[in-house]
Structure 1
Amino acid sequence: MPIDYDQLMNFDIPAVRQTYGAEEVARFGLTVGMGQDPLDMRQLPYIGALADDARAMPAIVNVLGHPGFWLGNPETGVDAVKVVHGEQGITIHRSIPNEATVVAKTRVTGLVDKGAGRGALLYYEKRICEAESGVHLATCRGTTFLRGDGGFGGPDGPVKQAHTLPETRPDHVFDTPTRPEQALYYRWNADPNPLHLDPRVAEKAGFERPILHGLCTFGLAAHALLAVMCDYDDSRFGSMDARFTAFVYPGETLRTEIWNDGSFRTRVIERDKIAIGNGLFKLRGAA
C-alpha cells in the first residue's frame, strides 16, 4: 500500500524528555575520538577529565531526545526495511549544557516523491529545548531516503540542493583513527541497530563485518571541525550539514578535509572512499 502524503506529513512523533549528565557527555565525547591524545588539554573538557572545566561536544545533540525508529511504525506506511539515512545537519543556538533536562520534538518537514521505482525523500527536524526554561538549544535536521516508497502521488520537489565543494586543495586536514570496537561503544548513544554490532546481520546486509554508525562518522567529522575551525571552543560552533556517501568499517582512519570557507568532506584513508560529502560548516552567528 502506498504511503499517504498528508498522513505522513502530519504524523505525530511523541516528544522525548531526557535528563543527562556528565557520564553521558563524557561517553559521547569518547565515542567521537575525544581523548585519543590524553595530553591535549583542549580535548579533556569534553570527556569529563577536568574538574574545573566540563563541556558537551556540540554533536551530542544528534543523540539527545532521540525519538527512536519511528518510521518502523506501520501507521507511517513506510517500507521500513528499505530506509537509508541520506543527510544530516545540526545548528547549535546555545552552548549545550554539561547536564540538563531537555525536551525534543521531531516532525516531518517535507516529502518528495521521486517516482515509481525511484523512492522518496523524507525531510525532518528535531528541536531541542531546555525543559524548564524552554530555551531553544539546538536544531537537528536530516533526510531519509525511502527506497521502497516512490510513486505515491506526492510532489516532486522541492529537493534540497547539495553544497558544492571548492575545486582547490583543502586548506586543512584532520585525521582521526577509529577503533575496531568503536561501534560497540557508540551503540550506547541510543543506537543499538544490530547492523553495527552483529556480524551475522552485517553479512546478510552485504558487508564483510559490522559498519560504523553514520552519526558516529558525522560526530568524528564534527570533532575535526571543532578542532580546526573553533580551536576546541564549543561557543564558536554554529552549524554543519553534509551527505552520507559511503560506509566506514570500525578500525579505519578518517581524514576530514576542510576549506577556510567551511566546506568539508571526510575520507576513509584505507579505501580512499568519501564517507561524508558536500559538507558545509558555519561559525555561530555567521550569516
Structure 2
Amino acid sequence: MNLERLLAKRFPLIAHHISPRDCILYSLGIGVGATPDDRDHLQFTYEDGLKVFPSMVNVISHPGAWIKEPEFEVDWVKLLHGEQSFAIHRPLEPGKTYVGSYRITGVIDKGVGKGAMLYLEKELREKDQAEIVGTVTSTYVLRGDGGCGSTIANTPPIHSVPERPADFECAIATLPQAALIYRLSGDYNPIHADPELAKKAGFDRPILHGLCSFGVATRAILQTCCDSRPERLRTMQLRFSAPVYPGETVITEIWRDGRIVSFRSRVAERDVVVLNNGRAEVEAAYFHQP
C-alpha cells in the first residue's frame, strides 16, 4: 500500500437522492416484508407513510470501489470489512437528497505479514443544509498490506458483550435470494451473485453482504428494543466475524443495560457467530417484554 497517496486521498461530496423506491428496495433486501400484513413491516415497504429503515444510512452516498484504484497499491483482493457503526442524529426521510462527505481517519500497521487496519468516516447532511443527520464509520482489514506504516497508535476500543445469559433472542430467517435483492441497493460485488467467483474467493457459494447482515441485526434490535419505531434507535456498532449464506437463520442475542444494548448474532444452521461485539443505544423506556 502507498500510504502517502492514500492519506492524500480527497473524496468528492456525493449527493444521493433516496426515492421511495430506493427505500422500499433496501428494506426488502434485508428481509423486511416477510409478514406483509404487519404494519411494523409496511412502514418500510409501502409508500403510504413510508419511513427510511435506520441502517440504510450505511449505503447512502457510498463512494464505491475507490480502494481498487492502482495509485494506492492496495492488495484489495485480500480486503475484509472488519467493523461498522452508524449514529442517527435526525431520522432520514424518503424523497430527500443527502450529501455524504468521506475521510480517512487513520491507519494502523500490524506488521509485515499481519496486515493493516484502515479507518473511514462518513458524515451525511441533507442537501444545502449544515446539520449532520448521520455519521457512519467503517474499518477495513487490509490483510495483504502490513508494513505500510501507521498514522495512529491504538485501535479504537471494542465493546464486549456481557458474560451473563442474554435477556432476549430474536431469530430472523434470510431469503435464499436475499443477496440478489440486496445488491440492487448498490453493492454489486460478484461474490454475492456468481457461484464460481464466490468459490475463487474461498466460499462454498455466494455470501450475503456484510451490511445486509448488519441490517438483519438492526431489525432484531428495532423489534425487540424499540417497539419497531425507528426513531427510538440512535446508534449501532458491530464487528463482522464470519459470513452469512443467503437462506440461513440469524439469531441475535440481546442484553439490555439501560439505554445501552449489547448484542451478537449467530447462524442457527452452523452455530457460527457472524456478528460480534455489538452495541446499540436506544431510548431506555422502550423494551419488548417477553
TM more than 0.5: yes
Letter in 2 for 1:35: G
Report deviation, 1:133: 2.3
Letter in 2 for 1:251: G
SS of the residue corresponding to residue 42 of structure 1 reads helix
Report deviation, 1:3: 2.1
Report deviation, 1:154: 2.4
Report the equivalent of 2:288.
none
- Structure 2 runs not aligned, ≥5 long: 286-290
CA distance in structure 2 between the aligned counterparts of 1:117 and 1:156, rounded to whole angstroms: 19
CA distance in structure 2 between the aligned counterparts of 1:116 and 1:97, rounded to whole angstroms: 45
1:98 corresponds to which of 94, 97, 101: 94
1:209 corresponds to which of 205, 208, 211: 205
Report the equivalent of 2:160.
164
**Identity percentage of aligned residues:** 41
2:174 is aligned with 1:178: yes
Report the equivalent of 1:237.
233
Aligned residues, how many? 282
Aligned 1:31-180 pairs, distance under 5 A: 31-48=29-46, 51=48, 53-155=49-151, 157-180=153-176
For residues 127-181 of structure 1, the C-alpha deviation after alignment (integer angstroms, 9 at most, x for no partner) is 1110022331101101000111111232572112211110111111111101111
For residues 216-244 of structure 1, the C-alpha deviation after alignment (integer angstroms, 9 at most, x for no partner) is 00011011111111111111110000000
CA distance in structure 2 between the aligned counterparts of 1:236 and 1:155, rounded to whole angstroms: 36
Report the equivalent of 1:274.
273
1:200 corresponds to which of 184, 190, 196: 196
CA distance in structure 1 between the aligned counterparts of 2:111 and 2:144, rounded to whole angstroms: 10
Letter in 2 for 1:46: F
CA contact (8 A) 2:108 2:149 kept: no
SS of the residue corresponding to residue 91 of structure 1 reads strand
CA distance in structure 1 between the aligned counterparts of 2:55 and 2:144, rounded to whole angstroms: 30
CA distance in structure 2 between the aligned counterparts of 1:203 and 1:152, rounded to whole angstroms: 29
CA distance in structure 1 between the aligned counterparts of 2:120 and 2:8, rounded to whole angstroms: 11
RMSD: 1.6
- Structure 1 runs not aligned, ≥5 long: none
CA contact (8 A) 1:11 1:76 kept: no
